[in-house]
Amino acid sequence: MASEAQAPDMFKCPVCNGNVKVGPDDVVITCTYCGSTTTIDGKEIGEHLMEVAVDADSRLEAFRKFLDKNKGINSSLITGAEVVENRLIYVPVWTAKVKADSWYKGYKTVQVPVQKTRRVRDSDGNWRTETYTDYETGYVPVQDEIHSNTDERLLARKGARLYGLEEYLAEIDLSKTVKYNFESIKDLEPDMLNAEIGQEEFESTVHGRVADRHRSQAKSGLTELFDCRTQTNVSGTTYLQAPFSLIRYKFEGDLYKCAIDGKTGKVVLGEIPITKAQRMLWTLLGLIGIVLATVGGELGFIGLATETTTLLIGIVMAIVGVVMTFFGIRVLLMTQREKKG
């Protein structure tokens, strides 16, 4: 008789009783059938928000506009780019307001004026005593406070390394989120990433993050920091599921990536291919630059001994040549450009 024990990589949804595949570190699970979100122990989470995503066609349209804007002389990029993946991913993010108060002690060094005397000989050869001001290093004790009230957010994944994800998370507008409703996004067929960081770990992490920030701020104005104690109050902890899209496309046999804000459909960060024709063009410009720089250097050297006009022309030609050479070699060594949306 087969065992009815639950597989270690499966989670039984407490709402719809569906079996959900999970990772070994997942602690907050979103059911792929009914969309309910609970802890690995089956407990409800607290406040739960989301952003509503645009559909695949809207993301694709924004991607095409991004290519058109950044194609440069590569006019075939628009028609030649073949989209092989247009994936919508809901990533888990913990957010909270953190009020922090720090008290610190240390010291800083200052230059203290000190009156001193010395024996000097005047113009007649007589010795006299002269008073002058010198400066010595002094130590000033410092005792101060730092107070802050910030919105903190943390990607609730330990190993997520999706292209452009960090740039996307920095642009999330928390004021435009809505109450979580899986039915409103179900038809988009998103991949729902589970959280590998729970609420307690998040609150502990942001405490350490803010404390480190305060310590760094305190230390910046001191020669030595003796003590820095921080108290934090974490409130309004919210579990946010934010839409992130990753488009992969082929062009002339190579694969490129483009990260898209799933809520607005706008490109966050993307790779633009550099074709062989472009490399040849920039190589030619680089070679011309080398010639210009060489001729300019010669003219400049001649101008030093003759006339100012020749010297200025030589300097200008040398500068233009160096710039052309730099960009020519730079493009030659690149496989693609990276552009923000």
d(CA 59, CA 137): 62
Q: Residues 287-311: pLDDT tens digits?
A: 787 778 888 777 777 776 676 777 7
> For the purposes of burial, counting CB atoms within 10 Å of the CB of 247, is it exposed (0-12), middle (13-18) or buried (19 or more)?
buried
d(CA 88, CA 21): 18
Could you tell me which residues are beta bridge partners of residue 251?
254
Kindly give the pairing relationship between strand 178-179 and strand 127-155: unpaired
* Residue 208 CB partners (closer than 8 Å, separation 6+): none
Q: Residues 144-161: pLDDT tens digits?
A: 999 999 999 999 998 767
Mean pLDDT value across residues 16-33: 89
Considering the entire predicted model, what is its pTM? 0.73
In the chain, pLDDT over 90 holds for what percent of residues?
44
- pLDDT at residue 332 is higher than 70: no
For the chain, state the CA radius of gyration: 32
Domain boundaries, the chain: 277-340
